[in-house]
Chains A and B, each alone.
Chain A
């Protein structure tokens, strides 16, 4: 596809379970971002990947959160031992990685609900 693809679009899980969220960026984009969108709180930066550089994990809220990007393309965000406060929309975005003022292309997000 031409855009950023995220799966699943919706995920309902029980407290304490692990979840994996997937992001397929636009082909050729070297920069990939994960954000979390909570009601009334805007978008919270989680993690950033750029090419083969070490990712910026400074936004991950706890050590239950991790992310990887395989082959410079697909990324997976993993949340271990989910808590109710993890419920949010998780957004992935990619960009060409050429310029510091380029726009980000966003996926439609994964709505995570932790019961």
Chain B
């Protein structure tokens, strides 16, 4: 079974600072990789995904993530945090040809003024 590890259940950053959320997966074959975000009182929505091709993926709201096969990682970054980025972020993986999406435990981001 796929395993997804998100390092750090809570991250606090200052407005304008770098946001870095870590995600590692356990699989010998790279799966499809996703980041979802859950804003307060809203449903989860897709931030970005990696399927094939370019390993640096850009998503909505200025976020991007880089797939590193050698490190089995898919870390999410944003150069400059905004107050509106306060939310819970979930890394998720899906094996190729499968339909089951496995999620990490989530990382809550707070942004300090």
Contacts and interface: CB of A to CB of B under 8 A. Distances in A.
Interface of A: 3-4, 31, 33, 35, 40-43, 45, 48, 50, 56, 91, 93, 100-101, 103-104, 106-109
Interface of B: 4, 6, 9, 32, 34, 36, 41-46, 49, 51, 90, 92, 94, 96-106
Contact of A40 (B51, B102, B105): B105
Contacts of A93: 44
19 contacts: A3-B43, A31-B99, A35-B103, A41-B105, A43-B106, A48-B99, A48-B100, A50-B99, A91-B43, A100-B32, A100-B94, A101-B32, A101-B49, A101-B51, A103-B34, A104-B101, A107-B43, A108-B42, A109-B43
Contacts, number: 56
B51 A45 contact: no
A42 B105 contact: yes
For B6, B9, B44, the residue with the greatest tally of chain A CB atoms inside 10 Å of its CB is B44
Contacts of A101: 32, 49, 51, 94
Contacts of B6: 42
Given A91-B44, A106-B45, A100 B103 contact: no
Given A33-B101, A48-B100, A108 B94 contact: no
Nearest to B104: A42
Closest 7 pairs between A and B when the two form their complex, measured CB to CB: A42-B105, A43-B103, A106-B43, A106-B44, A103-B46, A101-B32, A101-B51
A42 B103 contact: yes
B27 to A, nearest CB: 14
Nearest to A93: B44
A107 B46 CA distance: 13
Given A3-B43, A43-B106, A45-B101, 11 more contacts: A40-B9, A40-B106, A91-B44, A100-B94, A100-B96, A100-B97, A100-B98, A100-B99, A104-B44, A107-B43, A109-B43
B9 A56 contact: no
Contacts of A33: 101
